[in-house]
Homo-oligomer: A and B are copies of this chain.
Amino acid sequence: MTRQRRKHQTKHRPKQVRKPYIDRKIGALPVLSEEGLELIEANADRILAEVGMEFRDDPEIIAIFAEAGCDIDGERVRFAPGFCRKTIQATAPAEFTQAARNPENSVRIGGNATVLCPSWGPPFVHDEDQGRRYATHHDFINLVKLHQTIPYLHHSGGVVCEPVDLPANKRHLDMLYAHIRWSDRPFMGAFIGAERAGHALDMARILFGRDMVDTSPVLYCVSNTNAPLVMDAHMSGALKTYARAGQPVACTPWTLTGAMSPATIAGTLAQVLAEAMASLTLVQLIKPGAPCLMGSFASTMSMQSGAPTFGTPEAGQMILAAGQLARRLAVPLHTVGTLSASKRSDAQSQQEGTWGLLMSLFAGANLINHATGWLEGGLVTSFEKTMMDADLCGKISRFFEGIDLSENAQAMDAIAATGPGQHFLGSDHTLANFYSALFRPDLADNNSFEQWSSEGGLDMTQRANALWKERLEAYQDPGLDPAIDEELQAYIRQKKEEKPDADFF
């Protein structure tokens, strides 16, 4: 390449601007007809009216439903057909913004926006150097930092791994602090129980100021049901705390087809919709207008072993249908991303993960948990898979920008000037579009076999191993106001001193 060309390219190299969320220019894909959707909705209504849902060990919740006129039978609540839909549609917002401490990173949740979050929940981590091991607080901080280096993740997430070296009853404080301190993106609140949710709100007030927390979403809560048709007090406790504070709650039935829901898809969908609507109704009864999402984490099961399976055709169908159902409720959709049952960051992890993330995007999901790193059915966060999935998140971000139809993109002059049988490699148009025309993943090897061999013949997993270490090395501390930092640390010290350590929840 000549010196002149190199100069040309440099001149046109655009500054990469990180986008705080995906603004989808490509629509969602329907899987059910109008008739099919009405059938699922009618069945969900029948389930809510005839079977109902149990809210266990939380009399306050039962009282809320009783006051709203629902049919109460002990802990069982039954809903008149149409009641839930009407209640949700009357006051639940179709979209909202979750603020980040760096306002450039605040995320829109709803409409055509999609927000990608990292892995959530695994007690183990895996990397190719040390293998599979229990996760620690050190791993947690490394993951928060690593995620902060990935431009295609929009959210710092929540339990990026379980730091099992910290006491189970206090570690939520250290996790919240790590997100606040080492990332400047939005993050999730503590999910289990009213007390921890309260701690998250306290810490958010220190970070954002009380006024802002009172008026804006600054935390994000996922509330799972205990399918089928149960919500326990851990979940309802967190749900009511966040809802009262006007903080968003993703009402997310987690089902395992054939175990926690019927073996068939239509049955599972009706149950998922019923559980989600009962939870969303609860949010709106507690605080009309509080932000909330319909969630769906509908997994399938191996009929040989009973183990959860991921990246399956049925999971794909279910998330596309859930997207349609959420849009008809006019609430945003929360779901899951690159799930895999694989034990390694291998071919299976990418076949299943790519399938899952693409399906969630085609479903029009608004927030996608586990967009990176999730392995072994959620038992492991993998450092290598995190980097592979990050490439996939980048591809998806570019894909959903849609096709540029500008005069430059049409390239009619370039086609005329090049003519039949010539090539575009040296054309002015190619040089002018050199840096911006095509997405560049970090880990795909496109070199010749010979060059690849001479560079060690590394597979993608091995290249990912080098990349996450490079990225951690290059991590840039976003900094934190020392006064806030001190106040947060004092708060955490105080809360830790209030009770003894315990190794159970």
Contacts and interface: CB of A to CB of B under 8 A. Distances in A.
Given A262-B415, A309-B444, A446-B341, A348 B399 contact: no
A433 interface: yes
A344 interface: yes
A425 B261 CA distance: 9
Contacts of A425: 258-259, 306
B308 A446 contact: yes
B403 A321 contact: yes
A219 to B, nearest CB: 29
A312 interface: yes
B228 A437 contact: no
Nearest to A375: B449
B437 A264 contact: yes
A266 B404 contact: yes
A39 B281 CA distance: 46
Contact of A398 (B257, B314, B409, B416): B314
Top 8 nearest A-B pairs (CB, nearest first) are A267-B411, A262-B411, A313-B399, A229-B420, A346-B459, A313-B398, A348-B460, A354-B354
Interface of A: 26-27, 29-32, 36, 39, 43, 46-47, 50-54, 76, 132, 226, 228-230, 257-271, 300-309, 311-314, 316-317, 320-321, 341-355, 358, 362, 376-377, 379, 388, 391-392, 395-396, 398-399, 402-406, 408-412, 414-416, 418-425, 427, 429-430, 433-435, 437-441, 443-449, 452-453, 457, 459-461, 464
14 contacts: A29-B29, A51-B419, A51-B420, A228-B424, A257-B438, A262-B433, A263-B411, A263-B430, A265-B404, A266-B405, A267-B411, A268-B411, A312-B438, A317-B399
